[in-house]
Structures are given as C-alpha cells and as structure tokens.
Structure 1
Amino acid sequence: MELIDFNPLNRRYTYAGTDAQTGETVISEAFDKSHALAVKDRAKDMKDARSGVGQDMRLACSIPPFVQVELTNQYGPEILKDFDALLFVINRDYPHLMVHGT
C-alpha cells in the first residue's frame, strides 16, 4: 500500500493499493491513537498532582478520531452531542480512554 495522504491534525493516514485478488484499487485509512493516549496520560498526571483542581474543568476522556468514527457508525452522530450517553458508552466499551471516572 502506498501512503497518499497524511492529516497531522487528527493523525489520519490514507493509503492506496491494489487488491491482489480482484485487481481493484483499494483506499484505506488508519488513525494513530498515540497522541490521544498521550493526552489522556498527561491529564491523569495533572489529576494525580492535583493541578487545576477547582480552577478549570478537567478532561474526562480523550476520544481519538477512529473511535469517533466507530461511535457515529454504530450509534449515529447524535451520540457525540449527548454527553451522558457518550460517557456511558466510553466507560463500557473504551475504558482505557477514560482519565477521570464518572
């Protein structure tokens, strides 16, 4: 597969290649979740150091773009607007993305 595009804002890689069985061109996308996990870890370190407590809102979770796509495909775009439902699904299906428990 050949890299044809990279979006640094959401760390999305777009690849193009040829399917060996059908000969058709295949476009695929991959997301690098390392940035989202680093944000989550940094927020957890801030919580442990009690930095920002009582001063600012703290990050509840870090949702990488590929998880956003999975959520909208499974539940529809409304899930991203309903905070309580979103946190319920994240706690249940993606607990590794949570910084602060609810």
Structure 2
Amino acid sequence: MPDPEGHPATEEMELRTVLNALADPLRYGVVSALLREAEGVERTCASFGLPVSKSTTTHHFRVLREAGLVRQVDRGNSRAAALRREDLDERFPGLLDLIRTNV
C-alpha cells in the first residue's frame, strides 16, 4: 500500500506502471535529468522548466511519484523530487542504466 504521500513501497512497484510513466517524453526527461544529478539531489518541480501549465506539471510528477520513480517532499510552498535510485535498482536491475545510455 502506498504511503500517505502516494509513494509505493519498493515491492509494490510494477514494471508496466514504470514503463507507462517513462513513455511520456517530458517525464522521461525529468528522470534523465535526475539521473545526471548526484545521488540524493532534490530538485523543485519548477526547476525542470517543463513547457506545460502548472497543473499539467503537477500531473506529470504525480504519475512519476505513483509509479515509484521519484520521491517528493514538501519544501515550503513547493515540492522537491528525488530519483528513487536504490529502490529502482533493487526492483528493476539495469533499468536506470538503460535510461542513462539513451539520454
């Protein structure tokens, strides 16, 4: 069962849901950008400069969060996202390596 913020536990992550989230070019770009950051780096959702409305940005990050790709935390009046590298490597070994080589 996802936690109160909507993050699934590692064992609850489903490959189909993760791949569906990554199928969108904007969401794939967010994950790719987070892969280029040092492990544990958090970025605000606005820092990605997605060319969509604020509500659509919120939707994209909800999809990423619910798939288990990112962990979001509240930072005052914004939210920050960090890639769930360790969880993803445990659940889907090699997935992040594939994304990294196709950036």
Instruction: Point out the structure with the larger helix share.
Output: 2
Instruction: Point out the structure with the larger strand share.
Output: 1
Question: Bigger relative contact order, structure 1 or 2, given CA contacts below 8 A and separation 6+?
Answer: 2
> Structure 2 length as normaliser, TM-score?
0.24
> Structure 1 length as normaliser, TM-score?
0.24
Larger radius of gyration: 1
